[in-house]
Amino acid sequence: MPDKNALLKRVQAAIEHGARIDLQDFAIDIKLSAETVTLAGSIADIGAKRRAVSAAASVAGISAVVDRLRVGTDQPPVDGATRDAVCAWLLREVEFQNCSVYARVKGQRETLRNAGPDTAGTIEVSVSDGIVTLHGEVISLSHQRLAGVLAWWSRGCREVVNDLAVLPPEDDNDDEIIEALRLVLEADANVHAAQIKVKCHNRQVTLEGRVPSQGERTRAEMDAWYLLGVGEVINRIEVA
What are the sequence ranges of the domains in the chain? 4-71, 79-166, 174-239
Q: What is the pLDDT of residues 113-151, one digit of tens each?
A: 999 888 899 999 999 999 999 999 999 999 999 999 999
CA 27 from chain center: how many Å?
Answer: 21
Instruction: Give the whole-angstrom CA distance, residue 183 versus residue 100.
Output: 20
Q: What is the pLDDT of residues 23-46, one digit of tens each?
A: 877 778 999 998 999 999 989 899
**CATH 3.30.70.20 at 174-239, yes or no:** no
Q: What is the pLDDT of residues 223-239, one digit of tens each?
A: 999 999 999 999 999 99
CATH number of 4-71: 3.30.300.130
Q: Across residues 88-98, what is the average pLDDT?
A: 96
pTM: 0.92
Residue 76 pLDDT = 64
User: Residues near 224 by Cβ (< 8 Å), separated by ≥ 6?
Assistant: 181, 198, 205, 207, 230, 233
In one-letter notation, the amino acid at residue 118 is D
Long-range (24+ apart) CB contacts under 8 A made by 178-182 are: 179/142, 180/141, 180/142, 180/145, 180/146, 180/227, 181/205, 181/223, 181/224, 181/227
* 73: confidence class by pLDDT, cuts 50, 70, 90: low
Residue 80 pLDDT = 95
Residue 24 pLDDT = 78
